[in-house]
């Protein structure tokens, strides 16, 4: 089955990352890269997103298309990246998610076939 | 209390539902379809058996109905039909098939309410109506929970299997929590006088025993089974003729099932030999301390406090601290116990037993007015009629 793992950051995580020294931050990024290397056989696609400050939202359900600055929901938790995986079942997707060394929340969503 | 034919019907259905579900999942390769077929067969049994009697081979009867309905439902799918036509009864399922069933029903990706409803339906053979009645919720709510859960199982790819060794521990915790919740639900609602309602404590004990049979080397499973059996062994003394709760201290210990208590104690000892203590084993050991005491005065309170200390180390919780304080009253006296209880203020303010316990300790120490106030507060916080009545009695007598 195909799933998308959505990586979710919160303010605490962003603050922790900002407070790290350069060496420490490099090691944190290295752990994430290592995770992608170790699981590359199951990963079909992945991308990191620019921060929510770069987001633009278009609303089409209010008459004329409405363009606004920012993400569609203002929240303390924001999706910061995603990866598409192909695995046998949800348990395997859970196993991968549990070993994720980056941001503190991962949402697993099956891709509609 | 359930009348014998009703209880017998429940027992027979329960002892075959899981096997039937496991065989059908194996057969049709799809959890949701198998679950529908089992439910149909059980509904049919509950319609026919009360009038016609329970058949000689209830398992074969249920299987024949499920298979026939399966053919009806799946007529358009030749692959399923071939499968159904090929398999003859009795097809003894692998023992771990029911284990897979249990772990699927209690998958952590399902909400707890759905885990409970699914387990009751699939493994114990309860109907949606029986589940609704047992939990005092509308039948449509139970139906929705089941439908959503089955949709999620297939849609999100929840596998039908026993978890791998490295995740088994965490997954087992989930299964045990479901069984314990069922037990508590049944245990607390007994005495409610619902003659025809299904006794959830029967289902909880059945599930714990089944799990222990399938996973004999898991000490926490044995611990939960022992805990359930110890509580049930004392059930006869829990209520008086007027369905009022009798506190442990005043229970007639001669009506306890002492043989069952001894069996459960041996089960705890065997589990302890694995040297992997856990919350259920410790709770069972605490209940055993009470159950094995000839009189209330003979309770080994020091041992009880030690066991609570271990339990708090493994699973810290304000409710456990409250229970430890109750035991402490008999080791170091009511003043020390009250200090412990008062330290929990703020954590348990909405819990009736917190106030009821405070009331008892305050009364021991001669603070009758404050004791009354605490009992009155407790009374506003419980909806359980038997507990309300106990608190009212206390307010009238003191």
Chain A, 63 to 92: residues with Cβ < 8 Å from chain B are 88-91
Name the pTM for this structure.
0.87
DSSP secondary structure code for residue B277 in this structure:
-
Contacts of A1 in chain B (CB under 8 A): 157
Contacts of A94 in chain B (CB under 8 A): 109
Size (chain B), residues = 398
Query: For chain A, how big is the Rg over CA atoms in Å?
Result: 16
Q: How many angstroms separate the CA atoms of A94 and A87, rounded?
A: 10
Chain pair A-B, CB pairs under 8 angstroms: 26
Measured distance between the N- and C-terminal CA atoms of chain A, rounded to whole angstroms: 9
Beta strands A56-59; A43-48: pairing state:
unpaired
Query: Does the beta-carbon distance from B163 to A88 stay under 8 Å?
Result: no
DSSP secondary structure code for residue B61 in this structure:
H
Cis check: omega of the bond before B90, within 30 degrees of 0: yes
Q: What is the pLDDT of residue B92?
A: 60
Query: Does the beta-carbon distance from B161 to A91 stay under 8 Å?
Result: yes
Q: Mutating which of B29, B157, B161 best tests the A interface, going by the most A Cβ atoms within 10 A?
A: B157
Query: Does the beta-carbon distance from B159 to A110 stay under 8 Å?
Result: no
DSSP-based three-state secondary structure for B245: strand
Q: How many angstroms separate the CA atoms of A78 and A52, rounded?
A: 7
Query: Does the beta-carbon distance from B157 to A95 stay under 8 Å?
Result: no
CATH code, residues A2-110: 3.30.70.1060
**Widest CA span in chain A:** 51
Chain B contact for A11 (CB, 8 A cutoff): no
Query: Does the beta-carbon distance from A88 to B167 stay under 8 Å?
Result: no
Query: Does the beta-carbon distance from A90 to B158 stay under 8 Å?
Result: yes
Contacts of A91 in chain B (CB under 8 A): 158-159, 161, 163-164, 167
Q: How many angstroms separate the CA atoms of B74 and B84, rounded?
A: 9
Query: Does the beta-carbon distance from B161 to A93 stay under 8 Å?
Result: no
Torsion of CA B252, B253, B254, B256, to 10 degrees: 110
Chain A, 91 to 110: residues with Cβ < 8 Å from chain B are 91, 93-95, 108, 110
Q: Which tokens in the block code for residue B91?
A: 């097809």
Q: How many angstroms separate the CA atoms of B351 and B360, rounded?
A: 15
Closest Cα of chain A to B175: distance in Å? 16
Query: Does the beta-carbon distance from B167 to A91 stay under 8 Å?
Result: yes
DSSP-based three-state secondary structure for B56: coil
Which pLDDT tens digit goes with each residue over A36-89?
Answer: 999 999 999 999 999 888 999 999 998 899 998 888 877 889 899 999 999 999
CB-neighbour burial class of residue B360 (10 A; exposed 0-12, middle 13-18, buried 19+): buried
Closest Cα of chain B to A85: distance in Å? 13
C-alpha distances in Å from residue B215, one per residue of A80, B95, B124, B134, B221: 42, 10, 18, 28, 8
- Please state the separation of Cα B357 from the chain's center in Å: 25
Query: Does the beta-carbon distance from A110 to B158 stay under 8 Å?
Result: no
Q: Could you list the pLDDT tens digit for every one of the 398 residues in chain B?
A: 344 477 888 899 999 999 899 988 887 778 998 899 999 999 999 999 998 999 999 999 999 998 888 777 667 666 666 666 665 555 565 556 899 999 999 999 999 999 999 999 999 999 999 999 888 899 999 999 999 999 999 999 999 999 989 899 999 999 999 999 999 988 877 544 444 456 899 999 999 999 999 999 999 999 999 999 999 999 889 888 887 788 888 999 999 999 999 999 999 999 999 999 999 999 999 999 999 999 999 999 999 999 999 999 999 999 999 999 999 999 999 999 999 999 998 899 989 999 999 999 999 999 999 999 999 999 988 877 777 887 888 787 66
DSSP secondary structure string, chain A? Answer: -EEEEEEEEEHHHHHHHHHS-HHHHHHHHHHHHHHHHHTTTTEEEEEEPPPGGG-EEEE-SSSS-EEEES-SS--SEEEEEEEEEE-SSHHHHHHHHHT--SSSEEEEEEPP-
């Amino acid at each position: 089955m195909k799933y998308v793992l959505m990586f979710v950051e919160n303010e605490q995580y962003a603050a922790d990352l900002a407070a790290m020294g350069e060496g420490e931050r490099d090691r944190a990024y290295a752990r994430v890269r290592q995770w992608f290397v170790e699981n590359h056989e199951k990963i079909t696609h992945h991308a990191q997103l620019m921060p929510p400050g770069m987001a633009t939202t278009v609303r089409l359900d209010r008459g004329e298309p409405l363009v606004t600055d920012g993400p569609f929901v203002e929240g303390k938790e924001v999706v910061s990246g995603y990866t598409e995986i192909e695995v046998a079942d949800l348990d395997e997707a859970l196993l991968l998610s549990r070993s994720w060394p980056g941001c503190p929340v991962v949402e697993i969503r099956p891709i509609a076939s | 209390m359930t009348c014998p034919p009703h209880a017998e019907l429940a027992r027979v259905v329960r002892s075959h539902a899981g096997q039937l579900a496991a065989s059908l999942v194996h057969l049709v390769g799809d959890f949701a379809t198998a679950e529908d077929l089992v439910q149909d067969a059980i509904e049919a049994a509950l319609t026919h058996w009360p009038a016609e009697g329970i058949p000689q081979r209830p398992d074969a009867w249920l299987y024949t109905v499920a298979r026939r309905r399966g053919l009806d439902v799946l007529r358009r799918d030749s692959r399923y039909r071939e499968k159904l036509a090929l398999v003859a009864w009795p097809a003894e399922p692998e023992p771990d098939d029911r284990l897979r069933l249990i772990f699927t029903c209690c998958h952590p990706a399902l909400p707890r309410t759905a885990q409970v409803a699914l387990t009751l339906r699939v493994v114990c053979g309860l109907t949606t109506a029986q589940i609704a009645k047992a939990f005092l919720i509308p039948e449509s709510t139970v139906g929705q929970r089941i439908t959503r859960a089955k949709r999620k199982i297939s849609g999100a790819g929840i596998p039908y299997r026993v978890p791998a060794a490295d995740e088994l521990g965490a997954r087992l915790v989930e299964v045990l929590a479901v069984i314990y919740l069922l037990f508590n639900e049944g245990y607390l609602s007994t005495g409610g006088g619902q003659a025809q309602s299904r006794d959830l404590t029967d289902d909880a004990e059945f599930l714990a025993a089944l799990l222990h049979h399938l996973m004999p080397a898991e000490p926490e499973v044995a611990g939960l089974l022992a805990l359930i059996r110890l509580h049930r062994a004392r059930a006869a003394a829990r209520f008086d003729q007027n369905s009022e709760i009798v506190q442990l201290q005043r229970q007639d210990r001669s009506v306890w099932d002492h043989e069952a208590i001894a069996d459960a104690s041996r089960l705890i000892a065997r589990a302890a030999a694995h040297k992997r203590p856990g919350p259920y084993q410790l709770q069972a050991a605490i209940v055993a301390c009470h159950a094995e005491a000839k009189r209330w005065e003979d309770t080994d309170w020091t041992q009880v406090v030690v066991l609570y200390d271990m339990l708090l180390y493994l699973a810290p919780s304000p409710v456990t601290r409250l229970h430890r304080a109750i035991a402490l009253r008999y080791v170091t006296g009511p003043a020390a116990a009250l200090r412990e209880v008062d330290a929990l203020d703020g954590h348990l303010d909405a819990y009736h037993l917190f106030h009821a316990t405070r009331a008892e300790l305050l009364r021991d120490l001669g603070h009758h007015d404050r004791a009354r106030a605490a009992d009155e507060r407790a009374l506003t916080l419980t909806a359980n009629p038997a507990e309300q009545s106990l608190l009212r009695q206390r307010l009238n007598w003191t």
